[in-house]
Structure 1
């Protein structure tokens, strides 16, 4: 039993259930064959170092161990993305180290990594050529490390660009310099309000047109596009417009189960922060699809959707707190602390509902240990 707050100021004693039992035939470290799938991992802070900041240092051992956890369930690693607090505490120097260490650890296992423009000072405005040069620097570093670049949405780009042509200009320069393949990334403003109007349009339709214009510059260098706009219908429509051989990687943490399952017209691959706390279940569900066992896929993955929707509830940019909370509860780190103290961005009521939904989805691996850790966190909020 664990104490959880309830509306009106009371407390309930909640009894945790049992973990989801996965058919042994659906387990293992081999990547699924029917879909390409990457999970975006977080970074583990080290609260005992970092000088006066205390929690701005990274615990590299625990951070890399979590990547091993994802690979062990057949998921690829999408390194140094927004789940790793890129743009919310993780600087480019730290991201460089993270990418290098993870790429070395990959040893041939699937890894992509975020290329952004965050070496440019956010307080300044930058020319389009400077933004392109920043992208190229990061892409080339990632390629040298042996990973595939994900050309992330850039705050500098959003602040400077005034039309779709500006995006075509910058991304064209980048595509001309990379070896390929790369992924492009359309991150909606729900995840980052500073990205409003990305691709040079305030509407999704115009943005999609600009994105397709960029892809047409060098489709042979583009493996796919990660779509994180939380609009399943628009993602499906965009998927139908992609050139042959260019994938759509869903980043829709609300509707991923349906989008990955797909329909008669196709399916999305996956690059998701949502798979971070549910790697065991996600890996098994995707292997079920390899066997065309849609019933097992649905029974495993559909119960995780309410949990993900709660984790990614508005304000969506604070979803990392729920991700790290579950990593702590599931025994992947020794504390619930985040870079720059981001663990404070969600309320105890929010965390309590994550516990209930995670329990119903069966994502807790060791119920007794999870209960002990939940009680510890709740005690810090005065819930006992």
Structure 2
């Protein structure tokens, strides 16, 4: 019999353990999982990415309207750790520890959360344009925040962050209620999320137009574009708990995400409980997005472009893709927030403006590399 020509593995083959180590001999091998990389190489690449994140955090803490010397940075950390170092001046200590460090750490955590959410939703919905705000959560958070700021609803108890979190959870609850009878297939998730998002966007606009003055509208608009300025240690602590838990939950579903990326029928043929898995992943992404948006506002493009860029480098297997997407998202948002602080100093841009300006051309470049443009 003539030898069969080498063909690209089908969806089931890509998920089989043997396919993760078998060499790919087709001309389209760049589009299939690059699982031939050795464990040592993967560990080295992950260590390099983690080192880049640490360097980015240290660099971002240093720069600003008033730059900080490396010696001052070392003195602040040394004094906090109880080392025998000369303590820095109180003003420098407060600048680094109370203002810049929580802001930079928040940027890293939010960037990781948004990138993971985008990666998960692109697989669950099989939609390359899916991002963390697909479920309407950001619109609900905006409505909750505006209700607190403009209408004073629960202002003495909730605050802007609490109002935004409640609004985000309400919008997600409405999404699940609308999907209760129709099911959780990818098309219905996308369409229902768009409807819920538009509803809460309209409510936000109605509240602003009916009740807000010019100064309040300007402040709300600045928050809606995303800013790390409100970040404090209590908010960082919440994100530091929620983000790793969400990443672990998504990573544990990595095989299911591989199957869902090829469709519900393929996932079901592999023994994956499609409805249960989709519900779990939707809840995980909604919680991560709600906490991020409630804390710093809606920051676009991070969850859209980072998964595509990382997928192009590492391949589509989610057990590899998710950790690298989290690291890349953290580095990207730390860098863009630092740029937002210094680009027009002493005035500060909302970080969402920077991510949009950088994200749009980067997304077009990714699409061109993928042959979709």
Q: TM-score, normalised by structure 2?
A: 0.29
Which entry has the higher C-alpha Rg, 1 or 2?
2
TM-score by length of 1: 0.28
More helix by share: 2
Greater relative contact order (Cα < 8 A, sep 6+): 2
Q: Greater strand percent: which structure? A: 1
